[in-house]
Structures are given as structure tokens and as C-alpha cells.
Amino acid sequence: MTASTIRPADIGAGADPAAAGSIATLITDAPEPAPTLAKTFAAMMAREFRVLRRSAVATFTRAVIQPLLFVFVFAYVFPKIGGGFMLGGGGASASSSVTGAGASSGVNFATILLPGLMASMLLMQGITAVTFPLVMEFSWQRTIEDRALAPVPIRVLAGQKILAGAVQSFIGAAIVFPIVLLVHAAGQGPHVHVTNWFLFTLIMVAASTLTASLGLLIGTVMDPRKMQMLFVVILLPATMLGCVYYPWAALHSIRWLQILVLINPMVYMSEGLRAVLTPSLPHMPLWAVLLVLVGGTVVFGYLGTRTFRNRVIN
């Protein structure tokens, strides 16, 4: 059909037959909609990528700054200024106190840091990628209704949000990888060896899905006015006690803490990535890691979908 331009002022009840005719054509010649669950889901994902593409620079710049500064200070500045005493040994070989029992000697801090920072990024990106947009969408304008009226069940919309957040989380963690590989003082580069690409991918996918599911749950239960508490109450403790800067085994001398941190899902992400990226360091058994990551995804995904549905439908 050929659409002519009509100004609203021209559109009247029969005042302008051409305008009314064009609107008529617009309605009667409209393509027959044939929505399917797959098409709608794909369109929703396409929308997420369009938004992500538009804000990619800002989003990933924010994401990169923290790990970049961490590796710059710990893998470049400290070794240069002889800050090894702070790590309990020679700057170039900080392993003994950090890696704990059974750790191999000669492991530098960047090697310990790489899996931890990737896990930190997974958590940070996964939660914020889902929670922050949700807070906006559930605000008084309730822009969530835009997609809630799409011809799919609400739980599918929840699943789409988890998947979109997981993708962003995965990309964020992947960006950390080259940063840690490249930013370090001479001789301070991490010793990384991917022992099993399948397991590495599986852990990355499971971890990013877990964090996005957690983001959905947080975004639907948290009071938007208290969102700054997200950093103080959840992200900061999870990161500091998430075995980012030390392997879980290194906590053996503080037994109560070693047990307490097991409630932190980030521990399993750090340890899982340690198992497949730096297997020479002590790490948790993979079965335990995968059990928690997959189980956590199911639990958080179920709870998040439920609370999401209850927030969308009054």
C-alpha cells in the first residue's frame, strides 16, 4: 500500500475523505499478524540487543573500570613498588598465604585474581542488567506493560529478561579476561590454562544465568527507593566474601568464615572458574560448583518469575 502523509489536524470525522481513506487503508491493509512464542521471544531479544547496542559504551565502560583498576593496582602497581609485604610474601610470588594449603609456589596474584574478577563481573553485570531496567519499568509509569501486553505468557517475558541479563553478564565477564591478561607488570601475567572448554563454557553460562535470575528476583522484591542498598547489602559483601581475591581453600585457617561464605553464590562462580582456568590452584570440586550454580538458577529463576508475575499482574 502507499501511505500518504496525514497530519492529525487533517484527520476529521469525514472532514477529509482522503485522510480518512488513508487511515482506512492503514487498518484494512495491515499485515495479518501471526505471532508465535518463538517469534515474539526473538523480537524481545532483538529489542534488548538494540538497547544494549545503544548504551554499550557506557555500560561496558562502567563494567570495565573496576576490574581494570584492580588489576592495575594489584598486578602492576604493587609489584612495581614492592608491595609484596601486603600480600604476605614476595610480590612476584604471593602464593603461600593467599592460596592456602596445598598451593603451588610461584603463583602470582594475577593468576588468583583472574577467575575471581570474572566472577565478580558476572555477578555485577547479571544483577544490574536485570534489576536496574526492572526498577524503571515498574516505576509509576509502568512501562513494563509495553511488553506485558505482547502475546506471550508473563513467565516467558520473565525468562526473556533472565536470558538478556545472562548475555550481558557473559559479555562483561569475557571482557575482563583480556584485561587481566594484558594489564600487569613484567613477569606478573596470570598463568591461565583452559583445561576443558566445554566445562568453562558451561560454568560461564550457568553462572551468568544464575546472576540474571537473582537480578530478576531482586528487581521484583526490592523497594526502588532503597536501590542504593543493593550495593551495600548485596554486591559489596558478595564480592568481598566471594573468594575473588583468594581461593576458598585459603580460608581454612578461619574455619567459621570458610563455612559461612558457602551461602554466597559468588564463591561457586569464582571456584568454578578457578577449576577450569587455573587448575593448579586449589579449588572446590566441580560437581559441587555445578550443583549450586544450576540449582541456584532453578531456585532463583522460579522465585524471580513468580514475583515478577505478581508485580506485572495486579
Name the one range near another protein by CB under 8 A: 13-21, 76-84, 240-248, 257-265.
13-21
- In whole angstroms, the minimum distance from the beta carbon of 42 to another protein comes to 8
CB of 139 to another protein, least distance (A): 10
Cβ closest to another protein, residue 158 vs residue 273 = 158
130 scored as a contact of another protein (CB under 8 A): no
Contacts with another protein in 180-209 (CB under 8 A)?
A: none
Residue 17 contacts another protein per CB under 8 A: no
Determine contact, residues 149/83, Cβ cutoff 8 Å.
no
Location of C-alpha cell 604493587: 78
Nearer to another protein, 11 or 233 (CB): 11
Q: Which of 4, 196, 201, 253 binds another protein (CB under 8 A)?
A: 4
Binding to another protein (CB under 8 A) within 227-266 occurs at none
CA distance 137 to 42: 20
CB 185 within 8 A of CB 236: no
All three cell numbers of 131, joined, read 534489576
What angle (nearest 5°) sits at the alpha carbon of residue 243, between those of residues 241 and 247? Answer: 145
Q: What angle do CA 269, 272, 278 make, to 5 degrees?
A: 120
Q: Are 150 and 157 in contact (CB under 8 A)?
A: yes
- Which of residues 12 and 82 has its CB atom nearest to another protein in the complex? 12
Q: Considering the complex, what minimum distance in angstroms separates the CB of residue 48 from another protein?
A: 10
Q: Which of residues 25-84 bind another protein (CB under 8 A)?
A: 26-28, 30-36, 39-40, 42-44, 46-47, 50-51, 54-55
Q: Any contact of residue 223 with another protein (CB under 8 A)?
A: no
Backbone phi, then psi, for 301, in 5-degree steps? -65, -45
Q: Please, which residue, 34 or 186, has the CB nearer to another protein? A: 34
Q: Are 218 and 102 in contact (CB under 8 A)?
A: no
Position 146 contacts another protein (CB under 8 A): yes
Looking at residue 159, its amino acid is G
Of the candidates 180, 212, 206, 203, the one whose C-alpha atom is nearest the C-alpha of residue 274 is 203
Query: Which residues in 41-133 belong to E strands, given as ranges?
Result: none
Task: Kindly tell me which of 263 and 313 has the beta carbon lying closer to another protein.
Answer: 313
Assess 8 for contact with another protein (CB under 8 A).
yes
Of 56, 74, 224, give the one whose Cα is nearest residue 139. Answer: 224
- Interface residues toward another protein, by CB under 8 A: 1, 3-9, 11-15, 19-20, 22-24, 26-28, 30-36, 39-40, 42-44, 46-47, 50-51, 54-55, 136, 140-153, 312-314
